[in-house]
Chains A and B, each alone.
Chain A
């Protein structure tokens, strides 16, 4: 470590996290003439989930009837959304796809040169496309730099600055502080508007997005921002092949005709979702997997013998990890079905997160959010393949626009200067601590264990949620006691605290919800209770945590809201071996 000297910067708009959400926000804010700082723990274009995503995104074209798509998003999500957001998402994404085309981002095309589209997972009418996310991220980096955005790579943000030096604040958010992970320089970034775009909340070592530890969500929560529907964070995908290998993309494979079969060769999704089959709502497919395991019908295999030829050609072109299928490490997938399993853990991706309005504003003045750190109100609790990245692009764009417009008419909020020294001390505190029996890695082990089993994670209960909550409290406490060996280790201690605080909010929200709904299933409350048809908020007040139930907006409703849910939800039905009836289709 070279120094912990303090440098101060001032800007109109500060954006924390440079994936699709943060980069689109930076692009839009800079286009409108705002001074923008974009800060990332890693190197913008080679960090978070955006770069590593499977490359499917929702693809509405001018020829599509947006009403049909919107209706599908709204009904599949059980009407638990803001319908104005659904339209904003689809219209905004139309424009973003055109941008990618004009930038020359490689997109899979048919023989006539038209974008090749396929039904998105979970959907019948909504279409997605396959493109190269790494190239899109590289282009975004280049373009924001051209517009004069200041990118600070390798700066780990540790806390938001508040105008009153209080967390939670009664004032506003006035920027953030962090340190350079290579040289230890402490950076105070004062800003008129701050956008959280730190992506998903993932346990380290489980999802291959190890720097998305929910830092921004945790920082905003500490500052008093409202999180919603945290218990719907649970989610996952089929990404583990034969226990050891990462399967490049389940969504891509099933879009091309891959099937799931059990040890008896049965295509078990036929009984659960005869229309969409493996492309059904992901939590229901994962529940069906869990059911196969519980009933002794495992292993479950992915059968790639039926995929079309474009699968193999796209795979070779677009997915680096795709080579595992052809690497001779696994039996030839064109001949043999391969054992596969899902991960099911915390990773938000729009089903939960910071509550934002149509412009990306949170409940705290000066603070906005976008992308996977925010709750995606366009699709409710349902995340179809491709909609997470579409939401990142569009919510980023709107948050950037709002932050730029507001900041150009506003002054930098004053902050008492002692606050910066206190935040510096807090950021570096673990470097001076005596060696502890627990290491940062051990804390991450404890956290990862919480979401280890897909079967246990899917079938919850009050006792299990309480036990998991206790673990997160222990980890959060220990993160304030253990020693950091160096700056690299220091980052991991901050990350452990942040994952633990986000996970704590998830389990606390789950404990508060005395019913089962959508992908959230409690054995002790298996029925869906119509009185829970609402957003479920959690935020920190001065006297502790406040849980809230917030009604869905009725303004701008195109499809009359129906409170569909009653009776045993779909996950409960699948786990109990009954035919799913209630809940969103």
Chain B
């Protein structure tokens, strides 16, 4: 079990207006503003806790989160007991 480096969050640069609301929303400090491009960017993707706060708060619906990758350090008891589900 190590931190999962896969990015769970994507921000669409075409629709993002750089309003910064998602940067305020993120408890894990994952998102920052690219000041030159005036767009939100994923700065610390591996720290995303998949809490959906940014996706909910984005007025442009520019953020997509992947359901397929859950908390990064998650461990399954089913793996411990060799149970396939």
B window 56-85: CB within 8 A of A: 56-57, 67-81, 83, 85
Distance between B20 CB and nearest chain A CB, rounded to angstroms: 11
Does the CB pair B78–A299 fall under 8 Å? yes
Question: In the complex, what distance in Å separates the CA atom of A242 from the CA atom of B85?
Answer: 7
Contacts of A441 in B (CB 8 A): 2-3, 46
Distance between B69 CB and nearest chain A CB, rounded to angstroms: 8
Contacts of A444 in B (CB 8 A): 3, 73
- Which of the segments A55-63, A319-327, A367-375, A376-384 contacts the partner chain? A319-327
Does the CB pair A452–B75 fall under 8 Å? yes
Contact count band on A: 35 or more
Determine if A454 is an interface residue (Cβ-Cβ < 8 Å).
yes
Does the CB pair B26–A42 fall under 8 Å? yes
Contacts of B27 in A (CB 8 A): 42-43, 46-48, 51, 210-211
Question: In the complex, what distance in Å separates the CA atom of A444 from the CA atom of B4?
Answer: 12
Q: Which residue of B lies closest to A342 (CB)?
A: B77
Contacts of B26 in A (CB 8 A): 42, 46
Contacts of A243 in B (CB 8 A): 74, 76, 78-79, 85
Does the CB pair A453–B71 fall under 8 Å? no
Contacts of B81 in A (CB 8 A): 293, 298, 455
Determine if B16 is an interface residue (Cβ-Cβ < 8 Å).
no
Q: Which residue of B lies closest to A339 (CB)?
A: B85
Does the CB pair B72–A327 fall under 8 Å? no
Question: In the complex, what distance in Å separates the CA atom of A395 from the CA atom of B27?
Answer: 24
Q: Mark A174-213, 1 if CB is under 8 A from B, else 0.
A: 0000000100000000000000000000011111111100
Does the CB pair A206–B71 fall under 8 Å? yes
Does the CB pair B49–A445 fall under 8 Å? no
Partner of B75, one of A154, A329, A453: A453
A window 243-276: CB within 8 A of B: 243-246
Contacts of B52 in A (CB 8 A): 320-321
Contacts of A488 in B (CB 8 A): 29, 43-44, 47
B window 1-50: CB within 8 A of A: 1-3, 24-29, 43-44, 46-47, 49-50
Contacts of B24 in A (CB 8 A): 43, 46, 153
The main secondary structure of chain B at its interface with chain A is loop
Distance between A36 CB and nearest chain B CB, rounded to angstroms: 21
Q: Which residue of B lies closest to A48 (CB)?
A: B27
Question: In the complex, what distance in Å separates the CA atom of A4 from the CA atom of B75?
Answer: 38
Contacts of A445 in B (CB 8 A): 1-3, 73
Distance between B73 CB and nearest chain A CB, rounded to angstroms: 3
Distance between A132 CB and nearest chain B CB, rounded to angstroms: 12
Contacts of B79 in A (CB 8 A): 243
Partner of B67, one of A245, A293, A491: A245
Question: In the complex, what distance in Å separates the CA atom of A453 from the CA atom of B1?
Answer: 12
Question: In the complex, what distance in Å separates the CA atom of A442 from the CA atom of B2?
Answer: 7
Contacts of A364 in B (CB 8 A): none
Contacts of B78 in A (CB 8 A): 243, 298-299, 339, 341
Given contacts A205-B73, A207-B71, contact A299 B85 (CB under 8 A): yes
Contacts of A341 in B (CB 8 A): 76-78
Determine if A115 is an interface residue (Cβ-Cβ < 8 Å).
no
Contacts of B29 in A (CB 8 A): 42, 154, 181, 488, 491
Question: In the complex, what distance in Å separates the CA atom of A73 from the CA atom of B67?
Answer: 37
Does the CB pair A205–B67 fall under 8 Å? no
Given contacts A205-B49, A208-B49, contact A453 B70 (CB under 8 A): no
Determine if A358 is an interface residue (Cβ-Cβ < 8 Å).
no
Does the CB pair A205–B74 fall under 8 Å? yes
Does the CB pair A455–B80 fall under 8 Å? yes
Q: Which residue of B lies closest to A181 (CB)?
A: B29
Determine if A52 is an interface residue (Cβ-Cβ < 8 Å).
yes
Determine if A240 is an interface residue (Cβ-Cβ < 8 Å).
yes
Distance between A23 CB and nearest chain B CB, rounded to angstroms: 15
Q: Mark A446-457, 1 if CB is under 8 A from B, else 0.
A: 001100111100
Q: Which residues of A contact B (CB under 8 A)?
A: 42-43, 46-48, 51-52, 153-154, 181, 203-211, 240, 242-246, 293, 298-299, 320-321, 324, 327, 329, 339, 341, 441-442, 444-445, 448-449, 452-455, 488, 491
Given A42-B26, A43-B27, 8 more pairs with CB closer than 8 A: A42-B27, A43-B25, A52-B51, A208-B49, A243-B78, A298-B81, A448-B75, A488-B29
The 8 closest A-B pairs by CB, nearest first: A205-B73, A452-B75, A448-B73, A205-B72, A42-B27, A339-B85, A243-B76, A46-B25
